Amino acid sequence: MEKYKNKTTIFTLLMVAVIFLIAGIMIFKRTQTIKKYMLPAFNSTKSEILISSQVDKANQKQEDAFIDFGESAVELEDGEKNWDDFDIKSIWVKKLKHKGEYFIEFVAKSNVSSLFKPSFKTSVKMTIKDPDIRKSSKFTVHYYDSDFSKVNDSYDDSDDE
């Protein structure tokens, strides 16, 4: 009888260990999935470069989210654009010292077939409210400078003549 008690105890311990192992794996996978949809260093108070030609601390989904935030800032400041008419040639992102604050710089080049295909550089400092890129997050623009503005200004000036 004592022999069966030991086997039952060992079997019970093994089953509990297997359950904990499976639960741990599931929690780890869920955490990794959630992490890939969160903006990098969102809560950090350390200033660091996240994306550049030499640094890549973001996955493709996060990089695409930064491009979307930059494009949204352009549309907020300079009106809607058909982003299908542009290719993003480069992006540079720096996490700034405050929670959710980033400096994004990107270059968009026109892909509309013509002889002249201009590039438009945009720089924007913004605070993003929610780190989850699966949601539509609000943001506040603190600094904005774009070649799109210069093109809009030149069109506005020509209208005055």
Q: Per residue of the chain (161 residues), what is the pLDDT tens digit? A: 456 567 788 888 888 888 888 877 777 777 666 778 999 999 999 999 999 999 999 999 999 999 999 999 999 999 999 999 999 999 999 999 999 999 999 999 999 877 788 999 999 999 999 999 998 889 999 999 999 998 766 555 444 44
Residue 1 CA to residue 15 CA, distance in Å, equals 21
> Which residue, among 130, 120, 126, has the nearest Cα to 78 in the 3D structure?
120
- Provide the pLDDT for residue 4: 58
- Provide the pLDDT for residue 112: 87
Phi, psi torsion values for 81, nearest 5 degrees: -130, 150
- Provide the pLDDT for residue 159: 47
- Provide the pLDDT for residue 32: 65
Do the beta carbons of residue 31 and residue 79 sit within 8 Å? no
Residue 124 CA to residue 107 CA, distance in Å, equals 12
- Provide the pLDDT for residue 88: 96
- Provide the pLDDT for residue 33: 65
- Give pTM, 2 decimals: 0.77
Neighbours of 108 (CB within 10 A): 26
